[in-house]
Amino acid sequence: MPELPDVMIYVEALSKRVLTRRLVSARVRSPFVVRTFEPSVQSLAGRAVVCVERLGKRVVVGFEGELFLVVHLMIAGRLRWFDGESKGVGKIGLAEFGFEAGGSGEGAGTLVLTEASTQKRASLHVVQGRGGLVSLNPGGLEVLECSPAEFTSHLRSENHTLKRALTDPRLFSGIGNAYSDEILHAARMSPVTLTSRVSDEGGAALHAAVIETLTGWREKLREEFGLDQGLGRFPGAGEITAFRPDFAVHGRFGQPCPRCGDPVRRIVYAANECNYCATCQTSGKVLADRSLSRLLKEDWQREME
């Protein structure tokens, strides 16, 4: 699922292309993607874009008349931009939005919502006014805008593991499975530490790791797509991903930790997994994987060799 740095890239790249332009067409290919009925998606046609924002992990496009199109990409949803008309994306295309040419010479363009999965989870909402946006906001703290004390207080407001707390959209905005792994590795903290046991100093250190990780990746992606040098290019197919070769631990099970060289470990749960370095984060303790530890029982390795 695209997380805060990825969504911010979408917001910036899209803003540079559609801000002040009028939407001339809206075509929904999958009726299941639209989760609201009034106002309709078609009611956006003819209106100019006044803002492009992030709401948690959602992309929000604001139009004249305080109408907002809210796009939740979920796990497999992605946005594609085509200069002129859409070149076609096949069956994965869920909706298309055509924009007029810009006043300073930019040509017309088309924004396409795709979802490369048999499980259709991506969604579109159209809401009226800022109050309508509030109803879609899980309420998580904006981690790039809060103080260390505010972050720590929020962290300890419920007693969960650090991994679960960081990825809870009701607690923190925009952090998911991938970047939570990277944040905890940067902070040298165990993913299963309970939030109630985090000291003020530990909370401040974790907050610093959050800022460093999220802003660092946002700037890396801005540079990758050329957004720091003007219009840049819109992310293409497969370029917004939860598996990046420069990640420290996420998606790198069995590969060497870039800090100590020991193999990255993982905990598999449900459809997700948590990646970590036992040497850097858990004092050499190998955390129990629910499925494997039950299978191997006494043979389950609990310490680093």
Phi (first) and psi of residue 277, to 5 degrees: -110, 120
Pairing of strands 272-276, 93-99: unpaired
| CATH class assigned to 4-134 | alpha beta
pLDDT at 18: 96
Q: Per-domain residue ranges for the chain?
A: 4-134, 148-299
* Max mean pLDDT range (78-92, 166-180, 289-303): 166-180
What would the mean pLDDT of 265-279 be, rounded to a whole number?
88
For the cut 50, the answer to whether the pLDDT of residue 101 exceeds it is yes
For the cut 90, the answer to whether the pLDDT of residue 270 exceeds it is no
Q: In angstroms, what CA-CA distances link 191 with 39, 167, 275, 297?
A: 42, 11, 9, 22
3-state SS, one letter per residue, for 66-97? CEEEEEECCCCEEEEEEECCCCCCHHHEEEEE
For the cut 70, the answer to whether the pLDDT of residue 177 exceeds it is yes
* pLDDT one-digit tens code per residue, 116-157: 988 889 999 999 999 999 999 999 999 999 999 999 999 999
For the cut 90, the answer to whether the pLDDT of residue 40 exceeds it is yes
What would the mean pLDDT of 99-108 be, rounded to a whole number?
80
Residue pair 122/73 in contact by the 8 Å Cβ criterion = yes
pTM above 0.85, yes or no: yes
Maximum distance among all Cα pairs of the chain, rounded to whole angstroms? 70
pLDDT at 213: 98
What would the mean pLDDT of 261-287 be, rounded to a whole number?
92
Q: Sorting pLDDT into bands at 50, 70 and 90, what band is 305?
A: very low
Determine the Cα–Cα distance for residues 58 and 84; give it in Å rounded to an integer.
Answer: 25
What would the mean pLDDT of 59-82 be, rounded to a whole number?
97
Measured CA angle at 179 (ends 190, 305), to 5 deg: 40
What would the mean pLDDT of 195-219 be, rounded to a whole number?
98
The percentage of residues in the chain with a pLDDT greater than 90, rounded to a whole number, is 84
pLDDT at 88: 76
The percentage of residues in the chain with a pLDDT greater than 70, rounded to a whole number, is 93
- Tell me which DSSP letter residue 299 carries: G
pLDDT at 300: 32
For the cut 60, the answer to whether the pLDDT of residue 299 exceeds it is no
Mean pLDDT score of the chain, rounded to an integer?
92
| CATH class assigned to 148-299 | mainly alpha
* pLDDT one-digit tens code per residue, 209-236: 999 999 999 999 999 999 999 999 999 9
- Closest to 54 measured CA to CA, from 4, 110, 122: 4
